[in-house]
Every structure is written in structure tokens, then in C-alpha cells.
Structure 1
Amino acid sequence: MDTAAPKPEVLVNARARLGEGPCWHEPTRTLYWVDIHNHRVHHCDPTTGENRFFEVGEVVGCLAPAGDYRLILARRHDLVFLDTTDGAVTPILQVEAPRPGVRFNDGKCDAAGRFWFGSADPEGGTGCLYRFDPDRSLHRMETGLFISNGLGWSPDQRTFYLTDTPRQTIYAYDFDLESGRIARRRPWVDLSGMGLFPDGLTVDREGCLWSAMWDGWCVVRFAPDGRERSRLGLPVQRPTCCTFGGADLGTLFITSASVGLSEAQIEKSFHSGDVFCVRGLAVGVPTYSFAGSDNVKAL
């Protein structure tokens, strides 16, 4: 196990309902993140702490870069582009939900510029994992999920990770970067019976996986073989996701939630919904962008 880690600092006093999906955008040195239920895409300058947001008109589950001044978003049931110069939203694709109440959740792009995102159906287990390609084709890659959550790839691009939070499991798949195929799903980390619910995740340069633990007051770092290496304690009950960014990708940014907490719980977790940063823990891997051409009209 690793020794004591640096102390997390509050970067944004956001008090978000459901802060999620932090994403580092290197060209503009910006941290993007979403407040799902408040329909907002936030953008923060970590050097000054200045944080602003765009209203995007709908529940927004995740985002990824799609150019220097454009993001791709998975909202409740659709994909859209967001122009970060003026906040304009451009529709791309509508996806029919299998059941009422199902919505899109976590996602990010792979090294080939494909956008991966999942859906959440905590009651019915009809959640899916999708892959949206630069040619605008949509592929259903996995089914039967309760909450498709934290996803990522090993530094060598040979392993894909996917979280199903209610099952308390992080799965690993064989991944083929050229074709975008996944295969041979197996439980990589099983936290059932431990009281930990893995949420969003990121991967560092050593191949270790950092998973935010919903209701767990911490982020856990797992070695490439799936064994726990360390825990980073946080002053909030519901950390939701994390990513590396900043200078040399050496800062871990962590989002959190206040949704569903009682007044007594919030008193114990005063910074719930805020965004945190921790420097000097590890070095992350680059954030990849959606590779769809700017010259192709939205569907």
C-alpha cells in the first residue's frame, strides 16, 4: 500500500447537485465538468479557480472534447455538440430509451476518436454501453447494465474498463484499438460486501486505475492487477468521478454530489457538490477528442 497522500483542496465551491464527468482539455488548459440534474456544463481555469457554466437545456450525463472550442455531450436521450465560444447547442443524434427513466450517463473518447457512453437504469437493468464513431454510426457494445459508469483504457490500449455501480464491480475487457471491439468481459474489481460503490474513474501512466467511491468518502487506486494500492480520503460522502490534468497531467481533479443527502449528512459533508484537486499523486494519460470532422453537418 502507498503511504500518506497529499491533502485534497477545494478548487470550486460549486455545491453541485450531481457533479460528474471531469475532463481536462489541454489546448485551452480548461477543466470541464457537468452538473447532471442542473443541466449545466461547467468550465474552470484551475490556475485562477474561476468557474463558469453553460445551460444546455437538458440532463447532461457526460462530455468529451470535439475540437478546440467544441464539446460532444450525451444528454438524457441524445448526443449534441456544444460550442464553447457562445454556448450554442447543435443536435447530432436521438436515441430511443428502452424504458421510461433511463438516461445517458458517463462517457469519454478512445485514442481513435470514438465517443463511448453508457446509460443508467438502476431499477430495470436495461442500461447499455454505446460507441459513437467519427462517421456518425452508433454501435451498442454492451447490454444488461444497471448503471453504466466509470470507463477507461489501459495505457497500452489493450484493456477497456467499465463500471456497473449497483453491482459494485469494475469489469475489464480485451480491447482492439483499430476496430473498436471489446471482448472477454471479466470482473476486474469486485467490491460486493465491502460497502463501496465504484463510480467514475481515470487511469494513470503506470496503468493504475483511480475510482471514486459513491458513499465511500474516498477515491481508491487499484494496481494493474486489480489489487487495491491506496485510498485517498475526501471530506465528502459522495465523490463521483476523477481525472488527471493541469501541468504535466500531474493534478487529480475530483467531482462530488450533494443529491440525496439529508441535512444531517450534509452537515458532516459540508463540501458536498464541490470540485477538489490534489497535486503530486501520479501522472495521468492524455484526454482524447472526438474525431468527427467539423465540416460534416449534424444528423
Structure 2
Amino acid sequence: MIEREYASAPMLGLPIAATHIPHFLAEGPTWDPVRKRLLWVDIMAGLVYQGRFTDEGAIEVEQAVQFPDTAGAVAVSRSGEWLVAGEHRLYSRSVDGEIVPGLKLIADPDRRFNDGKPDPAGRFVVGTKGPGGEMLLQINAEGTPAVLDDDLGLSNGLAWAEDGSALYSVDTLGRCIHVRDYDPATGEAGERRKFCEVPQGYPDGMTIDSEGHLWVALWGEGCVIRIAPDCTIVGRVDVPAPHTSCPTFAGPDLDTLVITTATEGMAPEDIAAYPLSGRLFTVKTGHRGIDPNLWAGTPTALSLEETA
């Protein structure tokens, strides 16, 4: 259990609004270390954005790519192919821009894919959002899914320890961060156990830094908190947008914290009070991230054979 409220934690920098686009549900910022670009999604719009950092710390949008339905998360391979979690299936996008649909993996029309990331070996781990009993799936390079969890309120943020030996995962509606042992070589995941509960706001997207501390966006609270391995809150970043959705460390030195926000669920008067809602923010916190994991699959593997 987190023992103290985040309001008593020290501030870790002053963020700046880095984009001008008021996203409805910006999420999943991902650093592409090969091409030195930032990727992120606007989930319900089905858009994946690519941008670059300017010398002033802003993010210049280079392209916005439309996918057939929703875009819950994006991952990138070493060769530059994208993997996108659509509504009920995964999509790949080649370096030439061709979008290839994978097989349908979710049958329930009221459920969709949500946050996802590659594991240290390049498998794609992705959760779902829907009516309840949500899943966390591990999808190997051949496109075959394995169920890690099937009892979540809302599967959300993911992070691995730097050596890959532990997987942290968020259940937003349960206001809980879980942890389990993880073997990157085999993909074997241990039994889930509670890492900590978050009593204020709703934990959403998450990343980890080089000191093994988690950075968790609190939806509804307008902040990102830094959680130590002993589950105490040791820092925070306040953002002038209440719906903070996900943080990640980006940039060539992985020392810029990028925070996505959303306007989802906000009335016009709320947006008037927080006019920067839906933007991406950047901040130098004095901390660094770890090397991002890259997707190791191939577009053709996503549609080789039907799965049960």
C-alpha cells in the first residue's frame, strides 16, 4: 500500500506543452531509438503520430497515420515496421506504409485492445478494455496469443525491470499495480502479486527509469508520480491537464519525460478551465529511462493461421 499521498512528494520539474493538437485520448508514447522519433496514438481516432523533438523541447508532428479502427498502442521494430493494437486485431505497417491486418483476436464487440508494449525479447504484451474480466495477453513473434490475466477491471500500463526479470502491470479500475516474475528468454510469466495500491486517482500508463522506479500517470489527478521499489511515492510531475494518460522517457539520452493527456470525459467548461488538455507535455526530471524494447515479429506472421 502506498503510505503517503502524492501531494507531499517533491516536484520533479515543470512540464511544457510540447504539441498543439488537442487529442481526444492521446496514449502510448513510444521512443524509436533507431530513427530518433517519438510515436504515440490517439486511441478512438485510430491515429498513430510520429514526431521529432525540436531544439526548444517541443514535438514537431511529422505524420499522422490513419488505421482502420482504434489504435490502442504502437510498437516499432528495429527495421522500422510498426505494430498497432487495433480494436479487435493487431495491424502492422511496413516501412513503405502498407497496413496489414492480423487475425481477429477479440470476439466480444464491446471489448477492445488497450495499452501494450513489447517485452525484452520482442513479444507483444497487450491488455483489453471492456465490460470486465479484462485480459492481458502475450503475443509471440508468430502471432500466437497466450493469456497472462483474464480477471482485470481495465488492463493498462506495462513496464519491465531493466534486466527483464519482473513485469509490472496496471489494473486501472482496481487501482492496483501488479508485479510478477518474468523470463524474457522463454516468455514464462510467474504468478501475479500485488505491488501496491493507488488510493488517489486512477493509475493509467506507466514506465520505469534506470533506478528501477515506476512513473505512473494518474488519470483524473493531472499528475505523474514516481514510485520507489518499496512502494513509496518519491516525486511527482504536475500537468495542467486533469487526464494524464501515460509517461515515457524519450530522446537520444532518454532524459526527457513525455506525458500524454486527453480531453475524453471533459465538459466544455472543463476544457475552458484546462485549455492545454489533450496535448503532449515534456519535462526534464533529472532522471533517465532504460532502452525501449522493440517488436521482434513480422507482418506476415500476424495472419498465418487461425487461433483458437
TM-score, scaled to structure 1:
0.93
Q: Identify if the C-alpha distance between structure 1 residues 217 and 2 changes in structure 2 by more than 3 Å, giving closer, same or farther.
A: closer
Does 2:105 match 1:89? no
Residue identity matched to 1:105: N
> Match of 1:249, SS?
coil
- Per the TM alignment, residue 298 of structure 1 is displaced from its structure 2 partner at its CA by 4.1
Query: Alpha carbons of 1:215 and 1:296: their partners in 2 closer, same or farther (altered >3 Å)?
Result: closer
CA distance in 2, matches of 1:136, 1:100: 21
1:31 is matched with 38
The answer to whether the 8 Å contact 1:253/1:277 transfers is: yes
Structure 2 regions of 5+ residues with no counterpart?
A: 1-7
Query: C-alpha distance in 1, partners of 2:89/2:46?
Result: 13
1:46 aligns with 53
TM-score by length of 2: 0.90
Tell me, in whole angstroms, the C-alpha distance in 2 between the residues paired with 1:296 and 1:190.
38
| Contact 2:92 2:299 (C-alpha < 8 Å) held by counterparts | no
> Unpaired runs of 5+ in structure 1?
none
Q: CA deviation at 1:125?
A: 1.5
Q: Do structure 1's residue 165 and structure 2's residue 172 form an aligned pair?
A: yes
2:91 alignment partner in structure 1: 80
Given the alignment of the two structures, is residue 244 of structure 1 paired with residue 249 of structure 2, yes or no?
Answer: yes
From 127, 152, 158, give the equivalent of 1:118: 127
- The one-character-per-residue Cα deviations of 1:163-208 (angstroms, maximum 9, x if unpaired) are 01011111111112222122231211202xx332100000000000
Q: Which residue in 2 is equivalent to 1:100?
A: 109
| SS of residue paired to 1:163 | strand
**Structure 1 stretch displaced more, 45-54 or 269-278:** 45-54
Change over 3 Å in CA distance of 1:217–1:295 after alignment to 2? closer
State the SS of the aligned residue for 1:43.
strand
Tell me which of 106, 118, 123 is aligned to 1:109: 118
The counterpart of 2:219, out of the listed 209, 214, 220, is 214
Give matches, 1:64-75, under 5 Å: 64-75=75-86
Residue of structure 1 in register with 2:68 after alignment = 57
8 A Cα contact 2:90 2:302, kept in partner: no
Once residues 154 and 90 of structure 1 are traced to their aligned partners in structure 2, the CA distance between those partners, rounded to angstroms, is: 32
| Contact 1:113–1:291 under 8 Å retained in 2 | yes
Q: Which amino acid aligns with 2:60?
A: E
Indicate how the Cα distance of structure 1 residues 219 and 280 shifts in structure 2: closer, same or farther if over 3 A, else same. closer
Deviation at residue 296 of structure 1 after TM alignment: 5.4
Structure 1: 4+ residue segments shifted above 3 A: 1-4, 293-298
1:143 is aligned to 2:153:
no
Shift of the alpha carbon at 1:152? 1.0
Name the one with the larger strand percent.
1
CA contact (8 A) 1:63 1:74 kept: yes
Q: 1:7-33: CA deviations, max 9, x gaps?
A: 101111110000000000011111000
* Separation in 1, partners of 2:80, 2:182: 30
Measured after TM superposition, the shift of residue 150 of structure 1 is: 0.3
Shift of 1:294: 6.5
Aligned to 1:269: 274
Equivalences for 1:152-191 in 2 at 5 Å? 152-191=159-198
2:206 aligned to 189, 201, 205, which one?
201
Q: Equivalent residue for 1:285? A: 290
Identical columns (%): 32
Partners of 1:276 and 1:297 in 2: how far apart? 34
2-structure distance, mates of 1:164, 1:12: 28
Highest relative contact order (Cα 8 Å, sep 6+), 1 or 2?
Answer: 2
Distance in 1 (CA, whole Å) between partners of 2:162 and 2:18 is 27
Residue 120 of structure 1 and its aligned partner are, at CA, apart by 0.7
Partner-residue secondary structure (3-state), 1:291: coil
In 2, distance between residues paired with 1:68 and 1:212?
Answer: 30
Instruction: Give the deviation of 1:3 after TM superposition.
Output: 3.9
Secondary structure of 1:104's counterpart equals strand
- Measured in 2, the distance between the counterparts of 1:111 and 1:35 equals 25
